[in-house]
């Protein structure tokens, strides 16, 4: 697996200093420090094959960032085995640094007062890219991202969406085979988000790049990833197909009704669990295996002017996964 990602029983612990509040606590900490062990990531294992796009999901503090930092060599693991593109990341081999790129939606490498083209040229030197290869790659990125109008404008004059496109181009100018994308569409409008997603798809198809994506926008995950890994409190909760995730954590569908006349809650509850009821709109949760029979009952017994059935949103599914995990650990 030369261009994939292999993680086996990865753990990363931090020793955190603690002290009591107040002047006395400050004095005690000078002579007798107390520490506690924080398990940021514990016994995490997964494998990502070359060319896969995988969503890496979890709430703040779940261990996503720590895992990404270990995969990129920014942190040394406490234990376990990590291999990315055939390299051990924390050894910081020059050949490994040329094979991956970390793109963070909230970080900038562009030089604020200079055009993006200057940053591209700097990266050419950093990665020792031959002129012919640089020109070919840049032409492809300019085409995919439609960058021609902004190449020579100062970065400070660019819109947020234009800057994000240029950030992507700067990060990919050395044709990395492994991409770590951390919130690549954060803060962008709907049209620009779709543009970035399409670019990621195109880059993956053109270069068979392996991509690990973190995002709080479920639209990113649904559009790009067939497989997701969910992490919470440093442990893997789920690793599998996105469609199977819905079946596992949300074995129901949502029926949206528009009533012709008011119906009391106890009558609605005979057909499904009430999620929301603000006349004339009602949302009911129906067991997935009983959708046909429940739907027939709703249509025949309730005054309906409109009726639709849909899967729960991915936000709800992820929330249910975290909720189940929290309940499972309660003594």
- One DSSP character per residue, 29-80 reads HHHS-EEEEEEEEEEEEEEE-TT-EEEEE--TTSSHHHHHHHHTTSS--SEE
| pLDDT of 248 strictly over 90 | no
Please report the pLDDT score of residue 35 as a whole number: 76
DSSP state of 237: E
Each residue of 87-113: pLDDT tens digit? 999 999 999 999 999 988 767 789 999
pTM higher than 0.75 for the full model? Answer: yes
Q: Is residue 330 pLDDT above 60, yes or no?
A: no
Kindly list the structural domains of the chain, giving each domain's residue range(s) and its CATH number in brackets, ordered by start: 5-246 (3.40.50.300), 251-310 (3.30.70)
Q: What is the DSSP string of 276-315?
A: EEETTEEEEEEEGGGHHHHHHHHHHHS-EEEEEEEPPPHH
Condensed to tens digits (0 to 9), the pLDDT of residues 72-88 reads 999 999 999 999 999 99
Helices 160-172 and 116-126, packing angle to 10 deg: 20
**1 confidence band (pLDDT: 50, 70, 90):** very low
* Per-residue confidence band for 329, with pLDDT thresholds at 50, 70 and 90: low
The pair of three-digit structure tokens given for residue 220, joined into one six-digit string: 């990113």
Cα separation, 270 vs 272, whole angstroms = 6
| Residue 183 pLDDT grade (very low, low, confident, very high; cuts 50, 70, 90) | confident
Q: How far apart are CA 227 and CA 219, in angstroms?
A: 14
């Amino acid at each position: 697996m030369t261009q994939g990602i292999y993680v086996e029983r990865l753990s990363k612990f931090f020793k955190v200093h603690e002290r009591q509040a107040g002047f006395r606590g400050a004095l005690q900490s000078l002579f007798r420090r107390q520490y506690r062990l924080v398990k940021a990531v514990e016994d995490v294992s997964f494998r990502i094959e070359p060319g896969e796009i995988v969503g890496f999901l979890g709430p703040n503090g779940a261990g996503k960032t720590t895992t990404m930092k270990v995969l990129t060599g920014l942190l040394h693991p406490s234990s376990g085995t990590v291999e990315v593109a055939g390299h051990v990341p924390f050894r910081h081999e020059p050949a490994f640094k040329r094979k991956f790129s970390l793109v963070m939606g909230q970080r900038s490498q562009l030089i604020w007062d200079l055009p993006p083209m200057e940053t591209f040229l700097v990266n050419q030197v950093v990665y020792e890219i031959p002129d012919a290869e640089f020109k070919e790659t840049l032409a492809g990125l300019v085409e995919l991202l439609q960058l021609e109008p902004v190449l020579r404008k100062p970065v400070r004059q660019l819109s947020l969406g234009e800057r994000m496109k240029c950030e992507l181009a700067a990060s990919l100018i050395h044709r990395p085979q492994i991409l770590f994308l951390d919130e690549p569409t954060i803060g962008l409008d709907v049209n620009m988000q779709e543009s970035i997603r399409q670019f990621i798809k195109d880059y993956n198809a053109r270069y068979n790049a392996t991509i690990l994506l973190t995002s709080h926008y479920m639209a990113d995950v649904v559009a790009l990833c067939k497989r997701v890994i969910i992490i919470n409190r440093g442990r893997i909760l789920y690793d599998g197909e996105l469609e199977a995730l819905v079946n596992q954590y949300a074995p129901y569908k949502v029926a949206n009704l528009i009533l012709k006349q008011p119906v009391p809650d106890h009558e609605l509850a005979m057909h499904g669990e009430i999620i929301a009821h603000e006349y004339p709109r009602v949302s009911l949760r129906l067991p997935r295996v009983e959708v046909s029979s429940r739907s027939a009952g709703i249509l025949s017994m309730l005054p309906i002017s409109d009726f639709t059935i849909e899967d729960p949103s991915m936000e709800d599914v992820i929330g249910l996964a975290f909720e189940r995990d929290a309940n499972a650990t309660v003594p």
